[in-house]
A and B are shown apart, each in its own frame.
Chain A
């Protein structure tokens, strides 16, 4: 029995989803969306550290100009597996499968997702795909890059392309089933009175994300099937010797994999809308615009894949059209950023850790988004294509954007998930460490790329060393910034102050039920009578 270190609060004996039953079986066979969210939390954290381990090795190799630590072939495997692990097994499931799983039913006043057993199935599928891919890593890794471009992947590579491909194929179905579950849940399970425009923006963002998941993922699935068939059975779909077109693979691959970038960032934008509104005690400025901008991003995401192929023999006219369409993504993205900052205006802002992450997100996402405009510009992209400029750009979106939002969301809903508060001082400190470490890691890479350092090389000329050392130093700081929350969040499970049902004084149905919530979420079905983000009438209470 733990003794709370905070104020003398009686230890709760109330039944909730964590103590309703115990044992491994009660977790592995659970259909409770909240427990499945925690299963995902544990597994994606594992994959985050596997992917992070490869990142450490990459940064160590790049500390010095000559390729002295690893062979070129080994280095190829390192960046491939870093990308595969981080994208398919951490970033894509991160916010939807953890926070989305936990919060979508709670925010709409439902007992569970529409298909609880399919939800559990999707976790098992994820784990199965993860094991396949880890198997590929253990057997010696993959060296094609996370993009698996043909004909290298289909013909020439001597690494475990088939096992990795099958692993990603399997995991794709986990993503499809999660998206399907969210769409049906949001359509059919909303509490009485919860009309579409009373939904939290988190839900709108997850709805848009789910659309991409169900429309995009099957395409990459069939693409990987064709790749595996070609490699395994020599049926040549992409084989130039037969008149096949390797660039067709790139088209099919990016048709999914560009929208996949928005699978990573859109849920993060949903989180940020919640955080900004709560900690500035204001209704989200331009609610309807923010909601529809999520759908707009989802729709446009399917029209821009060609900007990955400006130098892949695509015609100039196709390139110009894809360039213009890519610029269009900036409009809904900017709508979001401007509306968040307008929400802050004259708000009663408090600087809790989740809000610090939200500020970090806005800054980093803006830099990442604006450099995306550089890359969408056909002429400039020819100069910086496949350089560190691109690497820095997508890390600003994926790490600076998605991971900051993920951490902010984890902190914000931690009291709801566990019933305990995290230590605020440490949390603010680590948010700052992450922000500084991130900039030191990736800002030098913009300069490196602009000066012409190509990506995916393990050696580089002397003059790039200073910037590379800065980047590696920043990565160390960033790593510490990720480890600190790991430690104090686990610590808080036992020693954190007991959180009330609503420590932030936030609106939203999820805060109207005890923390941790009971298995059925709400004792009785809530009835919604007001707009979301009704903050003007409330005061922040504790912390």
Chain B
């Protein structure tokens, strides 16, 4: 039993390493292109909604808190606390996705979705399109991870209501917590890299 717990922990950490490498490919592309086209990236960044992005950052950090409290609830065997905070975490995750959806919709209305209909009023529209390609690829991949996380959390809620978890056995809660915090951290990097380029000058 103890061996299984340790194996699951190590497995999760190894998995998170692969996730870092997965996002790392996109961060590499970001670094290369931002170094090549700093002005276009700053222009593109100013077309992102910093208020919605900021709210979302707060929402995600809050969801990491509720996730940590859910883990605590499972450790002390407080089932109501566990279920309540799991559901709270799901709620915050959904809030994040809804706000993200609004942002995507605004970009669609402003013709900032890369492709044939892309139009950009600032200088060097092609390079700005690169910025938006990366913006959608990175935030889209992040949102996909959020959706997967919400799916796992939903399964955990169902299992928790059936009394599956005890202070002795709650690895799935802890491991999902690790995953959730990881997805959160990805956003902590994405937000400044995408939204906050050269904001101090204007």
Interfacial residues, chain A to chain B (CB-CB below 8 A):
114-115, 176, 180-181, 183-185, 187-189, 214-219, 221-223, 225-226, 229, 233-237, 241-245, 248, 251-252
Contact = CB atoms under 8 A, between A and B. Distances in A.
Interface stretch (B31-39, B53-61, B66-74, B176-184): B31-39
B28 interface: yes
Contacts of A184: 7, 10-11, 14
30 contacts: A188-B7, A188-B10, A214-B17, A216-B21, A217-B18, A222-B26, A222-B141, A223-B25, A225-B141, A226-B29, A229-B133, A233-B114, A234-B114, A235-B115, A235-B137, A236-B114, A242-B127, A242-B133, A243-B36, A243-B37, A243-B40, A243-B124, A243-B127, A243-B130, A244-B130, A245-B32, A245-B36, A248-B32, A252-B28, A252-B29
Give the secondary structure class of B's interface. Answer: helix
Interface string B1-12: 001001100110
| Interface range for B | 35 or more
Nearest to B13: A184
Nearest to A251: B28
B136 A180 contact: no
B198 to A, nearest CB: 18
Query: Among the interface residues B29, B33, B124, which one has the most CB atoms of the partner chain A within 10 A?
Result: B29
A218 B19 contact: yes
Nearest to B17: A214
B5 to A, nearest CB: 10
Interface of B: 3, 6-7, 10-11, 14-15, 17-19, 21-26, 28-29, 32-33, 36-37, 40, 114-116, 124, 126-127, 129-130, 132-134, 136-137, 141
A336 B129 CA distance: 50
A236 B7 contact: no
A136 B129 CA distance: 30
A184 B175 CA distance: 15
Contact of A244 (B6, B7, B33, B124): B33
A187 B10 contact: yes
Given A114-B7, A234-B116, A243-B130, A180 B15 contact: yes
9 closest A-B pairs by beta carbon, nearest first, are A222-B25, A218-B22, A218-B21, A235-B133, A235-B114, A234-B115, A242-B126, A114-B7, A243-B127
A223 B36 CA distance: 20
Contact of B14 (A214, A216, A248, A252): A214
Contacts of B127: 242-243
Contacts of B115: 233-235
Contacts of B40: 243
Contacts of A243: 33, 36-37, 40, 124, 126-127, 130
B18 A214 contact: yes
A256 to B, nearest CB: 9
A222 B141 CA distance: 10
A73 B27 CA distance: 36
Given A176-B18, A184-B7, A244-B33, A252 B25 contact: yes
Contacts of A187: 7, 10
Contacts of B37: 243
Nearest to B22: A218
A248 B11 CA distance: 31
A226 B24 contact: no
A183 B10 contact: yes
Of B14, B19, B24, B129, most buried by chain A (CB within 10 Å of CB) is B14
